Homo-oligomer: A and B are copies of this chain.
Amino acid sequence: MRVSAKAEYACRAVLELTRYHEKAEVIHIGDIAVRQSIPEKYLVQILLQLQRAGLVKSKRGATGGYALARAPGEISLGDVIRAMDGALIAVESLSDDTNVSDQMSGQHVLKNVWMDVQDRLGEIMDGITFDEISRQAQKSLSMYYI
């Protein structure tokens, strides 16, 4: 089960926006790209996708940029993955329309298994918010200043 670079970039972008959420200002794409080592032109697409999913908002023009659309505690890992991939788990049998003849093969049964796994993975991923992730980042970072 592979997590795409795109999905991880998206998480890093949201994490970066989380750090600036208190200040209620927008950040430029370029700044996010530099600070999180994400190819800027690629990040353009990612942020637009996050925006269409309602996770971030933008301000256009000279003083423009991006900010989170809601509080970091209200944005979960699952939200971001779903915004990028459409669903938490992508597997052939989940997208296929299954017919009765498939009953004989393992396809239909496995479809149910994947749906079950997806639900339970959802419970895990929806329980991890960027508020928590960000706090954990501060914590592990502070260890270097003791």
Contact = CB atoms under 8 A, between A and B. Distances in A.
Interface of A: 1-5, 7-8, 11-12, 15-16, 35-37, 77, 81, 85, 88-93, 100, 103-110, 112-114, 116-117, 120-121, 124-125, 128, 133, 136-137, 140-141, 144
Q: What is the copy number of this chain in the assembly?
A: 2
A22 B125 CA distance: 39
A5 B92 contact: yes
Nearest to A37: B105
B3 A105 contact: no
A139 to B, nearest CB: 9
Contacts of A114: 3
A103 B12 contact: no
23 contacts: A1-B3, A1-B85, A1-B88, A1-B121, A2-B2, A2-B85, A2-B91, A3-B89, A3-B90, A3-B91, A8-B91, A12-B105, A15-B106, A16-B106, A35-B105, A36-B105, A77-B113, A103-B140, A108-B140, A109-B136, A109-B137, A113-B133, A117-B124
Contacts of A4: 2
Nearest to A87: B1
Given A2-B1, A8-B93, A108-B140, A128 B103 contact: no
Contacts of A117: 77, 121, 124-125, 128
